[in-house]
Amino acid sequence: MKVLVTGANGFVGQAVLLRLNGMSNVTAIGSVRRATIFADAATPFAMVGELSAQTDWSAALAGVQAIVHTAAHGCHARGGRHDSLTELRRVNVAGTLNLARQAAAMGVRRFVFISSIKVNGEHTLPSQPYTADDVPAPIDSYGISKYETEQGLRQLAKETKLEVVIIRPVLVYGPGVEGNFRTMMRWLSLGIPLPLGAIQNKRSLVALDNLVDLIVTCLHHPAGANQIFLVSDGEDFSTTDLLRRTAAALGRSSRLIPVPVPVLRMAARLLGRDDLAQRLCDSLQVDISKTQAVFGWVPLVSADTALRRTAQDFLAKRAN
């Protein structure tokens, strides 16, 4: 089977390619915007330029039976302003649907789309995790763009022979992780006291190894066609517990001050960072029972094992 992986230079895309390249019955090709940012010279790749409604995918799709679509415009801030919904629709929605239409026309059998739990929403109530069959309720522009892409893909699947599989991951972590998770490890490794020792929320995470394992399963499993799946490690942590377990993986003692959550929320509001308080204090849990039942899938690695590998990679790179 020949598989095209978009966003091949990204955190998830690189890991998917590495896994596929180790499989004897798979030929993997990665797509990138520019050859200069593609790290693995041993993997065949196609330069396709920007993900847009005008991108020509014909060369990259030649002989391809399946696609793993990880490429996307993220919810980043530029110049102090968040990317607009118009821009996210241009790239994430129009760009993805353009690829999918060309794939269907060229006889690609399966399209695995990496969406986001943001399609479900931003937080859950206690003991009420999101499920794959919940009514979507995206709030921010990124979540809306992912949901609109899902809708377009599902309609295309009805009109063509293309099988669409949608995966909505929670926060992904693992060796090479960037963003807030890396910042957290840096604070912990430096022994910086953090006022986060009294948070009793519950949040689901997914290790990169577990996400990649599910993606590979979705490439070939017949029961996955035209379905939506949530994915996590199957273990939920409070923010406080996550900090303690990550510190232990780093070989450090966590220095957590038990500041009451209402005080944290008030301080965040005064600083104009209600979004940060939400990520730290609110719950966001997912129910992966459908994923497990349909595929007979279980997470490949435990959360503690994944945290240890992530911490080891962080420490090794910091030493260099």
Phi then psi dihedrals of residue 260, to 5 deg:
-55, 145
Please enumerate in sequence order all residues whose Cβ is within 8 A of that of 310, keeping only pairs 6 or more positions apart, or say none. Answer: 173, 174, 175, 177, 181, 185, 207, 249
Q: CA separation (Å) from 199 to 172, 184, 267?
A: 21, 15, 15
Please enumerate in sequence order all residues whose Cβ is within 8 A of that of 136, keeping only pairs 6 or more positions apart, or say none. Answer: 119, 120, 121, 147, 150
**60 pLDDT exceeds 60?**
yes
What is the model's pLDDT at position 212? 98
pTM for the predicted model, two decimal places: 0.93
- Where b means 16+ CB within 10 Å and e means fewer, 93-114 reads bbbbbbbbbbbbeeebbbbbbb
Give the C-alpha separation, 214 to 221, whole Å. Answer: 10
- pLDDT tens, 166-212? 999 999 999 999 999 999 999 999 999 999 999 999 999 999 999 99
Give the C-alpha separation, 309 to 317, whole Å. Answer: 12
**76 pLDDT exceeds 60?**
no
Active site residue 173: no
Positive or negative CA dihedral for 254, 259, 262, 268?
Answer: negative
Contact 149, 305 (CB under 8 A): no
Least confident of 48-62, 69-83, 136-150: 69-83
Among 19, 4, 11, 18, which Cα is nearest to 55's? Answer: 4
Confidence at 77, pLDDT banded by 50, 70, 90: very low
The residue ranges of DSSP E strands in 223-272, in sequence order, are 227-231, 236-237
Instruction: Give me the residue spans of the domains in the chain.
Output: 2-177+205-235+285-301
Here the tokens at position 137 are: 């309720």
Higher pLDDT, 85 or 320: 85
**46 pLDDT exceeds 80?**
no
Query: Maximum Cα–Cα distance for the chain, whole Å?
Result: 58
**78 pLDDT exceeds 70?**
no
Q: How many helices (H) and strands (E) would you count in the chain?
A: 12, 12
What is the model's pLDDT at position 73? 84
What is the model's pLDDT at position 79? 35
Helix (H/G/I), strand (E/B), else coil: 116: coil
**Alpha-carbon radius of gyration of the chain:** 20
What is the model's pLDDT at position 80? 36
- What percentage of residues in the chain have a pLDDT greater than 90? 84
What is the model's pLDDT at position 303? 96
Confidence at 83, pLDDT banded by 50, 70, 90: low
Here the tokens at position 268 are: 């965040």
| Candidate CATH numbers 1.10.150.120, 3.40.50.720, 3.40.50.150, 3.30.470.20; the one for domain 2-177+205-235+285-301 | 3.40.50.720
**309 pLDDT exceeds 80?**
yes
